């Protein structure tokens, strides 16, 4: 499989992060096209401290894709994780004020996520780091909005 070339506006990434063209073009091929759907999730795997988070964050910021970076290492319970995800999505909608506290109830979490996602347009990326699914690598979660 050959990877597409990066558009000219993303070439500055290659200067800042040399030897990362493969990673940037892979991310671009998966996420960089507004008119094409993205996969529901991507697992970034690799040895520790090799730049997975740095490259991913730089790519998301350079492309302007709406994203929320959730640091799961600081979440000690499912209730806190749920609160951070909902808070991040609510901030993306531009709303201010208090975010609902839902505890660790998964059903309430899903309802609140659906409410927040209903107010957002375009491609939304949630990046839990490190993953809370017993993996030591970041996972990107995507939702295509109509």
CATH class of 8-144: alpha beta
Binned at pLDDT 50, 70 and 90, residue 82 comes out as confident
Distance between CA atoms of residues 55 and 129, nearest Å = 13
pLDDT at 133: 39
pLDDT, tens only, 12-47: 999 999 999 889 998 998 888 877 777 777 878 778
Q: Is the pLDDT confidence value at 136 over 60?
A: no
pLDDT higher than threshold 60 for residue 107: yes
Mean pLDDT of all residues in 101-115: 83
Nearest to 81 by CA among 57, 120, 112: 112
pTM above 0.75, yes or no: no
Closest CA to 80 of 102, 58, 95, 60: 102
Structure confidence at residue 132 (pLDDT):
39
Q: What is the pLDDT of residue 2?
A: 58
> Phi and psi (nearest 5°) for 11?
-65, -25
Give me the pLDDT at residue 59, please: 92
Q: Where do the domains of the chain lie?
A: 8-144
User: What is the maximum span of the chain, computed from C-alpha positions, in angstroms?
Assistant: 47
- Provide the pLDDT for residue 13: 92
């Amino acid at each position: 499989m050959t990877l597409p070339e990066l558009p000219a506006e993303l070439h500055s990434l290659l200067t800042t992060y040399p030897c990362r063209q493969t990673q940037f073009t892979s991310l671009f091929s998966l996420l960089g096209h507004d008119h094409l759907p993205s996969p529901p999730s991507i697992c970034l795997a690799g040895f520790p401290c090799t730049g997975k988070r740095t490259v991913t964050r730089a790519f998301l910021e350079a492309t302007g894709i709406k994203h929320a970076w959730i640091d799961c290492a600081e979440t000690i319970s499912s209730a806190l994780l749920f609160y951070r995800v909902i808070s991040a999505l609510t901030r993306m909608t531009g709303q201010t004020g208090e975010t609902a506290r839902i505890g660790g109830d998964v059903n309430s979490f899903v309802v609140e996520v659906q409410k927040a996602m209903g107010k957002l347009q375009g491609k939304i990326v949630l990046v839990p780091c490190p993953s809370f699914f017993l993996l030591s690598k970041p996972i990107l979660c995507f939702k295509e909005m109509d």
